[in-house]
Amino acid sequence: MKKYTIALIIVISTFLWLSGCASQNNYAIKVNGKSVSKTVYEEKLNASKAYYEKQGMDFTTDEGKKSLETIKSSVLENMILNELIRQEVEKNKWDRSAPEVTAQIDDLKAQLKDAGNDYETFLKEQGMTEDEVSYYYTFTYNIGKDVAVSDEEIKQYFDTHYSSYGGQDEQVRASHILVATEAEAVQIIKDLNAGADFAALAKEKSSDGSAADGGDLGYFNRGDMVAEFENEAFSLNVDTWSQTPVKTRFGYHVILVVDHKEPVVPDFEKVKTKVAEDALANAQNLKIQSYYSDLKQNADVVYAEDLKPAE
C-alpha cells in the first residue's frame, strides 16, 4: 500500500483519541457508548491552537476568534472519527504490530527525518502517541490491502492526471474586466472594438483585484474558473476578447485571451509503473474514505451539552 505523506498524517491523525478511561461525568463526546473526556478534548484543542499559533495565527483578533470556533469543531469531529478507528481496529482484532503497519510508521519517521524533524517532537506537537499512530496505519492498511486496479483504470487515471508525469494540461492566459451590470460590459466591448486599450480599461473600470495588473489573471487550467468564464476563455482565439458579456455569480466579464497552450501528453508506457502505484493509492484512499463515511453515518454520537455543534 502506498505510504501516506506527512501532510495527510497531520490532517487525519492530529487529533487521535488518547488512551485511558474517560470519566462518565466529564465527557466531551460519547461514541457508540464509549466516552472521551473533556480533558482529552482540551489537550487536543490546546495542541491544535499551539500548532496554528506557530503558523502565525493570532486568536485574539476577530478573524482568529472565528478560526478558533472552526478549530474546535474540527477537534471534535476528528475525535469522533479517530475513536471510530480505534473501535474498528479492536473489533476486528487487527494486528497493530503487523510488518506492513510498522513499515509505514518507519516511512513516516524517515520522512520526518528527511525534513529535519524529530519523530518524538512531532508526536508531542500534535498531541499524539505512538499507539495512536499505529491505530491509524492499522486501520488504513487493513481497509485498503485488498484493493486492486485494472489496466483500464490505470490508463483512465493517467488520462486525468498526465500533468503529474511530465505533461502539461491545456492552459489559457487571460485578462478580464469585471463590472456589475450588463450595460457596462456592453459599453466596454464597444470601446475595445473601437480601439481602446484593454489593460487601461481594466485599471479604470474593473472591480476585480486583478485590475491593478490590467486584468491579467495569468495561466489557468480547465476547472480552475467558474464554468461560464472557463467556457468562454477556452473558446476564444488568442488576442481576441468576448463580444458579449459573460455573466457569472461575480458579475459581468469581458475576457481577453492572451495565450493558449495545447496539452502535452507524456509517453504512457514510460511512466506506467508510477501511474499504477498512484492509481492504486487513489483507489485505496477512496475505499478508506467510504469506510470512514459509513462508520460515521452508523455511529451513535452524543456531545456534551456545552459542546454540541450549532444546528
219 closest CA partner among 260, 252, 163: 260
* Residues in CB range of 70: below 8 A, 6 or more apart: none
Strand partners, 256: 175, 241
Q: Is the dihedral of CA 125, 126, 129, 130 positive or negative?
A: negative
Phi-psi region of 20 (alpha: psi -120 to 50; beta: other; left: phi over 0): left
Per-residue pLDDT, averaged over 102-117, amounts to 93
Assess contact for 85 and 136: CB atoms under 8 A.
yes
Does the pTM exceed 0.85? no
Assess contact for 205 and 186: CB atoms under 8 A.
no
- The CB density around residue 35, as the number of other CB atoms within 10 Å, is 20
Assess contact for 246 and 228: CB atoms under 8 A.
yes
Asked if the model's pLDDT at residue 4 lies above 80, the reply is: no
pLDDT in tens, 169-218: 999 999 999 999 999 999 999 999 999 999 999 999 999 999 999 999 99
Domain range annotation of the chain: 6-150+269-307, 169-261
pLDDT in tens, 236-265: 999 999 999 999 999 999 999 999 999 999
32 closest CA partner among 50, 17, 15: 17
Tell me the C-alpha distance between 138 and 98, whole Å. 8
* Residues in CB range of 81: below 8 A, 6 or more apart: 12, 292, 295, 296
Query: Residue 18: what pLDDT?
Result: 39
For all residues of the chain together, what is the average pLDDT?
90
Reported confidence tier of residue 25, pLDDT bands at 50, 70, 90: low
Asked if the model's pLDDT at residue 7 lies above 80, the reply is: no
Containing 179, the helix (H) or strand (E) segment is strand 171-179
Q: Do domains 6-150+269-307 and 169-261 have the same CATH topology?
A: no
Tell me the C-alpha distance between 220 and 163, whole Å. 13
Assess contact for 178 and 207: CB atoms under 8 A.
yes
> H helices within the chain, ranges in order?
6-13, 38-54, 62-92, 99-114, 119-126, 130-144, 151-161, 182-193, 198-205, 227-235, 268-298
76 closest CA partner among 31, 114, 33: 31
pLDDT in tens, 269-302: 999 999 999 999 999 999 999 999 999 999 999 9
Q: Show the cell assigned to 173.
A: 492566459
6-150+269-307: which CATH number, 1.10.3260.10, 1.10.238.10, 1.10.8.60, 1.10.4030.10? 1.10.4030.10
Q: Does domain 169-261 sit in CATH 3.10.50.40?
A: yes
> How big is the chain by its Cα radius of gyration, in Å?
26
Asked if the model's pLDDT at residue 106 lies above 50, the reply is: yes
* 3-state SS track over 74-120: HHHHHHHHHHHHHHHHHHHCCCCCCHHHHHHHHHHHHHHHHCCCCHH
Reported confidence tier of residue 20, pLDDT bands at 50, 70, 90: very low
Assess contact for 189 and 254: CB atoms under 8 A.
yes
Scan for cell 476563455, then name that residue. 233
